[in-house]
Amino acid sequence: MSASPDTDSVDALRSQIDSLQTRVNELEVQNARLSSQLSRCCCQKMEDEVSSAVDGGSVVDGTGKSMNLDKKTRKKKDFKTGILEHHPRRYVALRLMYFGQRFYGFASEAQFDPTVESEIFKALEKTKLLVGDKKKSQYSRCGRTDKGVSSFGQVISLFLRSNLRPKNTDDANSWELSVERDVLDAEIDYVRVLNRILPKDIRVTGWCPVPIDFRARFSCMSREYKYFFWRDNLDIRAMESAGQKFVGDHDFRNFCKMDAFNVHNYRRHITSFELASCDKRLESNELWCFKIKGSAFLWHQVRCMVAVMFMVGQGLESPNVIDALLDTDGTPRKPQYTMAPEMPLILQSCEFQGVRFICSSDRCSASITCALGGSLSNIRTPSCNDS
């Protein structure tokens, strides 16, 4: 094994990385503010150039020519010409729950449909809650779960149409972020409206007004994942010993799917790694889960960590294999091993400072919970022969 680098040099490098990450977050916030200002300027410019006014059944365009439209045509034209962009809007966070079995992941950038994100935007467009397109709405997602992965606490943020107006209509930051009962009654019930349109395996479980510089991805303080498995004959004590080695700040390049094009820093901080019984049994077997909490995660990181943990539990590896894989000097290249299956993985929660989600009338549908419960019999512990 090669000699470890000087401690002072490592600390200095970590400090530089932390400083760069902080600067990146600051630039993201600044970019969000400037994008918001630009969006408002563009809308005002478009309004000045067109200089159109809708008065009863008549539309006066920029040339002064009057056009008479019936109610049906006028309603259709209003939507297609983007007049919804001039409606009152507010920046909100939505908390989502979904069962991922039939989806090709969360993000709509996937090559296949359906995705959770594509279904959400279909519902937003159908309910006419969307203000402009995805870019103009300053959309952000907390994470992009893989194909088959479920969530109880995914969070997205974006501008949505509102029944209310901010005190200063030129400043989206002037919204009152605390929602009183009378304000809640006057505002659009985002939860109820969206859940009436969304498929049953996707539910909105709450919303919250957030500042303009809030971003679901970068404002998230921590994320917690749960991975369910049947205990079988696994050595829980050895797995608990191995799991504690993940806690702290480490380079996880040997526990993820490499994405050299987009990712240049593989250091992540794991706050806690626990194993816990779920108090559910199937015949003589007992359901357990990993509870993994951290500030952020790499692509397939949780499934890779769990895969190595199963090897430890089956006695195929010692708990010390975690130390070896976290030592990127001694193990500079990721060994070949199969990731754990995606079905038992759930994004349990995402934590934000000062964000309290509201669910005014439509509670979480039990359909997803039932579906998850019904799939427990399909969960199994991967063996070393799994392909």
Instruction: For the chain, give the percent of residues with pLDDT over 70.
Output: 70
In a domain, 130, yes or no: yes
Give pLDDT, residue 358. Answer: 85
Catalytic status, residue 55: no
Kindly report the average pLDDT of the chain as a whole number: 79
In a domain, 61, yes or no: no
In the chain, how many domains are there?
2
Give pLDDT, residue 177. Answer: 52
193 close to 127: Cβ distance less than 8 angstroms: yes
DSSP-assigned letter for residue 368: H
Q: What is the mean pLDDT of residues 311-316?
A: 97
Among 227, 220, 189, 237, residue whose Cα is nearest residue 360: 189
354/351 Cα distance (integer angstroms): 9
Please check whether residues 100 and 192 belong to one and the same domain.
yes
In a domain, 361, yes or no: no
Please name every residue paired with 268 in a beta bridge, in sequence order, or none if there are none: 250
Strands of the sheet with 58-60, listed across from one edge? 53-55, 58-60, 66-68
Instruction: Give 21's pLDDT tier (boundaries 50, 70, 90).
Output: confident
Give pLDDT, residue 164. Answer: 83
**Does 49 score more than 50 pLDDT?**
no
Of 102-106, 261-265, 303-307, 317-321, minimum mean pLDDT range = 261-265
Please check whether residues 206 and 134 belong to one and the same domain.
yes
E strand or H helix at 68: strand 66-68
376 close to 308: Cβ distance less than 8 angstroms: no
Which of the residues 8, 18, 133, 146 is marked catalytic? Answer: 146
pLDDT, tens digit, 9 for 90 and up, residues 200-221: 999 999 999 999 999 999 999 9
- Both tokens of 377, joined, read 């019999």
Give pLDDT, residue 253. Answer: 94
pLDDT, tens digit, 9 for 90 and up, residues 329-371: 999 999 999 999 999 999 999 999 989 898 755 454 444 444 4
Please check whether residues 227 and 216 belong to one and the same domain.
no
- The model carries a pTM of 0.72
Q: What is the mean pLDDT of residues 104-125?
A: 90
Instruction: Give 20's pLDDT tier (boundaries 50, 70, 90).
Output: confident
In a domain, 3, yes or no: no
- Residue at a domain's end among 181, 198, 220: 220
Q: What is the mean pLDDT of residues 179-188?
A: 69
CATH number for 120: 3.30.70.580
Please check whether residues 128 and 256 belong to one and the same domain.
no
In a domain, 15, yes or no: no
- Both tokens of 51, joined, read 């200089």
Question: Phi, psi (5° rounding) for residue 169?
Answer: -65, -10
Please check whether residues 200 and 235 belong to one and the same domain.
no
Please check whether residues 231 and 201 belong to one and the same domain.
no
Q: Kindly compute the dihedral angle of the four CA atoms of residues 38, 40, 43, 47, in this order, to the nearest 10 degrees.
A: -130
DSSP-assigned letter for residue 300: T
pLDDT, tens digit, 9 for 90 and up, residues 85-110: 567 889 999 999 999 999 999 998 76
Q: Give the residue numbers spanning the domain of 255.
A: 222-351
191/203 Cα distance (integer angstroms): 8
CATH number for 309: 3.30.70.660
